[in-house]
Amino acid sequence: MATKGVGMANKGPSYGMSRQVQDKIDSKYDPELELILVEWISRQCGSGVGKPETGKMGFQSWLKDGCVLSELINSLYTADKPVKKIQSSTMAFKQMEQISQFLNAAEKYGVTKTDMFQTVDLWEGKDLAAVQRTLSALGSLAVTKDEGTYNGDPNWFFKKAQENKRDFSDDQLKAGKNVIGLQMGTNRGASQEGMSYGRPRQIL
């Protein structure tokens, strides 16, 4: 028992359980999806963003300062670009700030919180599969919206199902509450006659 969790607090290479967890996360990373995402981003943003070296490390370093991501989200808007300032920097906090600006803009575009990566997932390389998931969701949204800003093969990403919103009137909502009330039963006229054991049932 004394050896359990040894190395868990290490900030260097991962050991024990944390190494296993990292291996599982790494196994979710899709090299084929990487190729599609790189091709899409390159087409979407133009030759100015360049292309990374093949592989996870190249993919991470390409996106790490947040500039390519910011160019990407801006390219999906014809006017009123969401990320106002895109500036490359070698300073960690500036790079993370740029990534955060992309994430905020992606959420406003429609990417759900569950599909969103965390800044450290990219910047520290903790979960690059999550980064892929966010970019895939963004691509799917761009294809689904069909606003003329998507630049790539529409078959690269699946179209998201259009949300079917149902608006209920106040009367319908009240009627629904009444049905629930009847299903829960009523305590009118309830009697404890014949009960010989146990505590009386409490109806809240």
Task: Quickly state the pLDDT bin for 160 (edges 50, 70, 90).
Answer: confident
The rounded distance, in Å, linking the Cα atoms of 121 and 128 is: 6
61/66 Cα distance (integer angstroms): 10
Cβ(7)–Cβ(15) below 8 Å: yes
Per the CB < 8 A criterion, the answer to whether 138 and 109 are in contact is: yes
Nearest to 157 by CA among 59, 40, 78: 40
CA atoms of 28 and 160, how far apart (whole Å):
22
Coil/strand/helix, residue 76: coil
Token pair for 187? 């305590």
Residue type, 84: K
CATH of 19-145, one of 3.40.50.970, 1.10.150.120, 1.10.418.10, 1.20.1630.10: 1.10.418.10
Q: Would you state the pLDDT for residue 158?
A: 86
User: For the chain, what is the mean pLDDT?
Assistant: 81
**CA–CA–CA angle 156, 35, 130 (5° rounding):** 85
Q: What share of the chain in percent tops pLDDT 90?
A: 63
Domain residue spans of the chain: 19-145
- Band of the pLDDT at 17, cuts 50, 70, 90? low
Neighbour count for residue 56 (Cβ, 10 Å): 18
| C-beta separation of 9 from 40 below 8 A | no
Q: What is the pLDDT of residues 49-102, one digit of tens each?
A: 999 999 999 999 999 999 999 999 999 999 899 999 999 999 999 999 999 999
d(CA 192, CA 184): 19
